[in-house]
Amino acid sequence: SDEVEGVPVEALERHAELAELADEANWRYYVLDAPTVSDGEYDVWMRELRELEAAHPSLATPDSPTQKVGAPISTEFAPVSHLRRLESLDNAFNDADLAGWLARAERLLERDPAPFLCELKIDGLAIALVYEKGRLVRGATRGDGRVGDDVTPNVRTVANIPHRLKGDVPELLEVRGEVYLTVDGFERLNEQLVASGKPPFANPRNSAAGSLRQKDPRITAQRALRMIVHGVGVWDGGPPFPTTQSGVYEKLRDFGLPVSDLYRVVPGLTEITEFVEHYRQHRHDTEYEIDGVVVKTDRIELQRQLGSTSRAPRWAIAFKYPPEEVNTKLLDIQVGV
Ligand code: NAD
């Protein structure tokens, strides 16, 4: 068959088609907070894109959706350059993917990467908060990872985001985490939206994003938003940076930042799998929606050695549960029950 620079035309065309679909979906999801395809469908496109690029590496250009984070930001908010790039996460969909991730880390490090920190993957909106001398000075969305939307007045209305940190804190601290709406809050909000003739949000994640990215922060203040912090971008001055991810969480908690209690440090693949299976069964026991589990090498030294690809750290992986397509409550609302 026909080829262009060694790539079959069929593969080129399919790649272009999928890339266009993914770019369009990203814009609807990240900028409009109104996706028109399911996460499952989107993930299938991305998987096929990655397979095409694995077979034909020249297709993995920097503008491919597989190489990028999020989507370019809207023009509604002031743009903010992040102090350090915000990343996405690579995905595992089964035990073989998980074992493959672990084996790659071990090969790169030439040692066992254990122990691992397992935690929940909160289906919220990624936000970076900057604290100068313990004072909250900025909140921004992830955007494309380098430039986000300045949503400082909005994050100030989120109940559990402290405006001032406690104790001996870094001179400059940038933390990352998820802003979410509780499942109850999401359902109540949709009921209110529908009652006032407005379209409901597709899922809690989009409702959190739509609620946070409001031009009028008074509207944000009315939504039951919360945050959980799960990473640090910048830590300058003050106490020494902890040597483990779990140590980071303890410190952030001491500073008064909201950190999850539902993480566990485990020695290896068997226990990671147990954690994944536990929360597969208890997926709906948390007040926020989760779409999987995140596994990180606990030792910061190993995180530094492993580093990142163009879009995601090599020291972490997201194990994703199969998406639940139908939110029955939402369906009830849409048909007016
Ligand atoms: P992702 O959701 O797969 O994971 C990366 C993000 O997870 C990070 O940016 C971080 O903010 C977040 N996260 C949550 N809990 C975390 C924790 N404990 N530790 C670290 N990070 C944590 O990647 P993404 O790039 O944000 O989005 C891609 C996904 O979004 C797709 O797989 C799909 O499910 C969805 N999506 C859907 C559409 C659609 O049209 N339906 C479009 C675009 C994206």
Over residues 289-324, the pLDDT tens digits come to 999 999 999 999 999 999 999 899 999 999 999 877
Residue range 67-78: mean pLDDT, rounded? 87
Which H or E run contains 293? strand 290-297
pLDDT over 60 at 329, yes or no: no
Report the mean per-residue pLDDT for the chain.
93
Q: What percent of the chain has pLDDT over 90?
A: 87
User: Can you say whether residue 195 is alpha, beta or left, with left for phi > 0 and alpha for psi between -120 and 50 degrees?
Assistant: alpha
Is the pLDDT score of 333 beyond 90? no
Nearest to 215 by CA among 149, 261, 274: 149
Note the pLDDT of residue 75.
Answer: 77
**C-alpha angle 63/64/65, rounded to 5°?**
115
Predicted pLDDT at 324 = 72
Lookup: tokens for 324: 């639940």
Give me the pLDDT at residue 82, please. Answer: 97
pLDDT for the residue 325: 57
User: 336: pLDDT confidence band, cut at 50, 70 and 90?
Assistant: very low
Atom of ligand 1 nearest to the CA of 178: 11
Q: Mean pLDDT over residues 201-208, rounded?
A: 91
Q: Is 233 helix (H, G, I), strand (E, B) or coil?
A: strand
Write down the pTM of the prediction. Answer: 0.92
Instruction: Answer whether 52's CB lies under 8 Å from 46's CB.
Output: no
285: helix, strand or coil:
coil
Q: Give, in order, the Cα–Cα distances in Å from 193 to each of 35, 125, 229, 330.
A: 17, 20, 29, 12
| pLDDT surpassing 60 at residue 60 | yes
Instruction: Return the amino acid letter for 248.
Output: V
pLDDT at 169: 98
Question: Quick check: 331 pLDDT over 90?
Answer: no
> Could you tell me the distance, in angstroms and rounded to a whole number, from the CA of residue 89 to the centre of ligand 1?
7
Residue 63 annotated as part of some ligand binding site: no
- For the question of residue 166 being annotated catalytic, the response is no
Cβ burial 253-266 (10 Å sphere, 16+ → b, else e): eebbbbbbebbebb
Instruction: Tell me whether residue 41 is annotated as binding.
Output: yes
Q: Which domains does the chain have, with CATH numbers?
A: 3-68 (1.10.287.610), 79-330 (3.30.470.30)
List all residues whose CB is within 6 A of at least one atom of ligand 1. Answer: 25-26, 28-29, 35, 37-39, 42-43, 69-70, 88-89, 91, 119, 121-122, 126, 142, 178, 230-231, 294, 318
Mean pLDDT, residues 17-39: 93
Give the number of the atom of ligand 1 that is nearest the alpha carbon of residue 121.
Answer: 15
- Please say if the pLDDT value at position 334 is more than 80: no
